[in-house]
Amino acid sequence: MTQDTRKFPENFLWGGAVAAHQLEGGYREGGKGLSTADLSTLGSKDHPRENTATIEEGKYYPNHQGIDFYHRYPEDIKLFAEMGFKCFRTSIAWTRIFPNGDEKTPNEEGLKFYDDMFDECLKYGIQPVITLSHFEMPYHLVTEYGGWRDRRLIDFFLNFAEVCFKRYHKKVKYWMTFNEINNQTNFESAGAVYSDSGLVFGPDDNKEQLMYQAAHYELVASAKAVALGHQIDPSLQIGSMIAMCPIYPISSKPEDILFAQRAMQTRYWFSDVHCNGFYPKWLLNHFETQGFEMDITPADLAALKEGTVDYIGFSYYMSFAVKYKGNLLYNENQDLVANPYVKASDWGWQVDPVGLRYALNWFTDRYHLPLFIVENGLGAIDQLGENNEIHDDYRIKYLREHLEQVKKAILDDGVDLLGYTPWGCIDLIAASTGQMCKRYGFIYVDQDDYGQGSLKRYKKDSFYWYQNVIATNGAQL
């Protein structure tokens, strides 16, 4: 087959993505408060991370150190610039700005850290792309309010968003509100403290109802933040951040197809609300048939309408498949089946490049909004060679195959794509397992799962490959 040497659109935002809690470290520096991520222990593929109520001696909390980006960011950003990054996606740790989350006045030292870090990016022409809440929140909001089960969190979040928009609007154009907000569909496997929502489930809780309630408050907070951001600076682009795993029917049997459709509706009603500004009818019916009495006010519904997003940021790692089981109640922890047409990574994630083109078209058909791939990548074990070289051809293959599909989606299908920021452009702490050995980076960080190592940075083969991809604007993948 001849190589497709067409270029990506001019001004395409090539870059990389990370999140504050997975790389910054400095977990008690600069006045930072304790976040939910600071209470998450090391896990593995077979042993879930534990979320402890306090920091327990004898347990290892990998996010405390991260990869020490808090102190080393000038060196790391220099390496991003060497690759040719046009943008760098990271998040603002809420606890650096509001250590407890419910204060009125922000912590100046935290604000200054991000000012300095953004300036360092801008010095090289790299624009920061910012997520406000990426899988962490002030732990105080969990112990005092029960996390997002409490409506008051809307105002705390808005306060945080307002401070950030006002302070950084001249440095940051692209924002996202809640990282992978729709991964809450997976609520059954939630640990003690769950991702963005900070929910701790009690024995009497109906987990599903509580998930919907927390997600509703988050969606209202997100919509209000979008409206507020536009008021502060109309040029801001504020998006959602959705974890896109297309759910295929396992066969062409009509019931399998109908069930896959409902599974998609269950996983993507979050983006329906973000983009359309109202709840899909099937879900309102579901609340009724399940007897969920939801706190959704007319003022909330108005806010959702007024704060629809400007673009859809999304992550893409894998696809799922389902088989009809006799009813349409989709349970993400029980209903996924293996797809015989795709292979899985060492961590069991089904690798499916064609699914990315499908996803880009699916979003476009459904919402007609610009898209931004803000995560994509392969978590794999890398070997550091004797001369500090890393031959990660498996990672290059994964990214190349995905980018080939992205190119087709843009140039053949007409998808409007703003940019591409592969996940973990520098090795960092894995979110699901807390491991360091699950590496995504173009840059290797010498540190093991227990925080041992020199923390030195080394360029992998993929570093040079991606540098060339950016230099040729995707003509050479």
Could you list the active site residues? 180, 375
Question: Least Å distance between CB 174 and ligand BG6?
Answer: 16
Give the per-residue contact string, 155-194, with ligand BG6 (x = CB under 6 A; - = no).
------------------------xx--------------
Is 432 a binding residue for ligand BG6 by CB under 6 A? The answer is: yes
The answer to whether 90 touches 17, Cβ cutoff 8 Å, is yes
Give the per-residue contact string, 282-321, with ligand BG6 (x = CB under 6 A; - = no).
---------------------------------x------
Question: Least Å distance between CB 242 and ligand BG6?
Answer: 11
Among residues 423, 458, 463, 465, which is the contact residue for ligand BG6, using CB under 6 A?
A: 423
Token output for 100 = 């407890």
Q: How far apart are CA 304 and CA 278, in angstroms?
A: 6
Q: Which of the stretches 32-40, 248-256, 387-395, 431-439 binds ligand BG6 when contact is defined by CB under 6 A?
A: 431-439
Q: How far apart are CA 92 and CA 102, in angstroms?
A: 16
Q: Which of the stretches 156-164, 352-360, 405-413, 430-438 binds ligand BG6 when contact is defined by CB under 6 A?
A: 430-438
β-pair type (443-445, 457-459): antiparallel
Q: Which of the stretches 73-81, 397-405, 426-434, 458-466 binds ligand BG6 when contact is defined by CB under 6 A?
A: 426-434
Question: Least Å distance between CB 192 and ligand BG6?
Answer: 17
> What residues does 35 pair with on adjacent strands?
138
Token output for 132 = 């406000």
Q: Residue 68 or 150: which CB sits closer to ligand BG6?
A: 68
Q: How far apart are CA 310 and CA 313, in angstroms?
A: 10
In the numeric block, the tokens 């923390």 are attached to 455
Q: What is the DSSP string of 278-339?
A: S--HHHHHHHHHHT------HHHHHHHHHT--SEEEEEE---EEE---SS----TTTSB---
Q: Which of the stretches 8-16, 273-281, 364-372, 427-435 binds ligand BG6 when contact is defined by CB under 6 A?
A: 427-435
- Checking phi first, is residue 225 left (phi over 0); if not, alpha (psi -120 to 50) or beta? alpha
Q: How far apart are CA 271 and CA 283, in angstroms?
A: 13
Among residues 375, 392, 404, 427, which is the contact residue for ligand BG6, using CB under 6 A?
A: 375
Q: Which residues bind ligand BG6 (CB under 6 A)?
A: 19, 22, 135, 179-180, 243, 315, 375, 379, 423, 430-433, 438
